[in-house]
Amino acid sequence: MYPLFLRLSGKQVLVVGAGPVAARRIEGLLAEGAVVVVVAPHGQVPDGCTWHRREFTATDLDGAWLVQACATPAVNTQVAREAAARGVWCVDAADATSSSAWTASRIAAADGVEVAVSGGGDPVRARRLVQVLGDALLNADLRRERPAAGSVALVGAGPGDPGLLTVRARELLAAADVVVVDRLAPRAALDMTHAQIIGVGKSPGDHTVGQDDINRILVEQALAGNRVVRLKGGDPFVLGRGGEELAACLDAGIEVEVVPGITSAVAVPAAAGIPVTHRGMATGFLVATAHGEDPELIGHLAQVPAEITIVLLMGVRSLEMVASVLLRSRSADTPAAVVERGWTPRQRTVVATLGSVAEQARTHGVQAPSIVVIGDVAALHDQFGDLARPSSGAGLIADA
Ligand SMILES: C[S@@+](CC[C@H](N)C(=O)[O-])C[C@H]1O[C@@H](n2cnc3c(N)ncnc32)[C@H](O)[C@@H]1O
């Protein structure tokens, strides 16, 4: 078989048959922009194609660049014969050996890299190969050698364990020229890229590289033609100023992709055995920043009903003030937990009550980054214990 990549956009492709195999093929063809014409007396076809409900006739091949024969073996053989007579490539779904063309199993890696695999007529073997090659590609150096338009990907890196990075995040890291990284991203993510690393981490009270500078770096690096990954702890759009970075890039006419990440707001309580909702205890949760010293800025938290769990980020320094605001409406006995460095080997949890949590956190010397959880669910830590099993590479850039 001679490997080839086809640009099917706007090209007519005939599909004979309307069963599950045909449906999968049609979806793949439509995704590539092909003009799909289906011929089959009955069955089901996805939206977006033209369906002639009748038997195949040879003239159906007129105007087709390619035909997928997904009907009965007898019909497929007829389709293949007529296609060969007209010089049209035919994929006979049931007969890999005599087919004039064959659909490859496909691996789409980062940035337009495609790998097409043939299992030599054995689809199970092909799927195994896809798995092996897909895993290998995650660690390959996929940076471009030829100049291309720059772009920025705002990528959420999760709470600190590389096992909690998404597949898309890993693909983009493999293809990146430049990675602009926060202190709360997983340290191991830097081993997954061959890119130049630019650290712009802010720590509480130390904003050496301000947000305007970060926006400028992203825009400058992309305009210079680089594939930029902006790697951020957690999710880029949860208290991460991802929206501002997105706006700055779009204003500069740069192509931007957003890759959600696992937010610490949910993952870090989970690491400490605290589900943010729990039947009979909490019907919802509210995520807020406790950054800043002004009680007025968080006064609204006192209005939150007791059955809603409050999850506070950036809350260590202002914990005393926050607790005093919440004590206006919640009982001093309300369970409260502080989880430090979730999903890292240094994770630890302090469970107390709203009345005592600030003092307990001080006594134990709790530091940022930590998540504060206020509500009945916080007490579940005592029942469930720590649930995180950080992988060997887990840890934050801040702790490197
Ligand atoms: C600027 S916010 C960014 C939040 C991030 N975008 C997210 O979705 O997780 C930083 C805060 O997230 C929380 N945080 C992030 N990673 C954490 C971790 N591994 N353990 C505990 N808290 C964490 C802390 O409250 C920290 O101060």
C-alpha span between 186 and 171 (Å, rounded): 16
Q: In the chain, what are the domain boundaries?
A: 12-103, 106-140, 151-262, 265-384
Active site residues: 182, 202
**Are 94 and 76 in contact, with CB atoms under 8 Å apart?**
yes
Cβ-in-10-Å burial (0-12, 13-18, 19+) of 242 comes to buried
Average confidence (pLDDT) over 24-33 = 94
User: What integer pLDDT is reported at residue 207 of this predicted model?
Assistant: 61
Please give the pLDDT value at position 106: 84
CATH fold of 265-384 reads 3.30.950
Q: Which pLDDT score, from 0 to 100, does residue 183 have?
A: 93
Tens of pLDDT, residue by residue over 199-220, are 998 666 666 789 999 999 999 9
Q: In 286-373, where does DSSP find H-type helix?
A: 319-326, 357-363
Q: Is 240 in the pocket of ligand 1 (CB under 6 A)?
A: yes
> CATH topology for 151-262?
Cobalt-precorrin-4 Transmethylase; domain 1 (3.40.1010)
Residues 218-271: tens digit of each pLDDT? 999 999 999 999 999 999 999 999 999 999 999 999 999 999 999 999 999 999
Say whether pLDDT at 109 is over 80: no
pTM: 0.76
**CB 371 near ligand 1, within 6 Å:** yes
Which of 115-124, 249-258, 287-296 is least confident?
A: 287-296
Cis link prior to 269 (omega < 30° from 0)? no
Q: Which of 317, 371, 399 to mutate to test the pocket of ligand 1 (most atoms within 8 A of CB)?
A: 371
Query: Looking at the domain covering 12-103, what would its CATH class be?
Result: alpha beta
Which atom belonging to ligand 1 lies closest to the Cα atom of 237?
A: 6
Q: What is the mean pLDDT of the chain?
A: 92
Measured distance CA(290)–CA(361) in Å, rounded: 15
Output the CA 237–ligand 1 centroid distance in Å: 12
pLDDT > 90 in the chain, percent: 78
Band of the pLDDT at 151, cuts 50, 70, 90?
very high
Q: Quote the percentage of the chain above a pLDDT of 70.
A: 97
Look at strands 370-374 and 335-340 and give their pairing: antiparallel
Query: Ligand 1 center to residue 313 CA distance, Å?
Result: 6
What's the pLDDT at 147? 66
Q: What distance in Å separates the CA atoms of residue 19 and residue 70, rounded to the nearest whole number?
A: 7
User: What pLDDT score was predicted for residue 138?
Assistant: 78
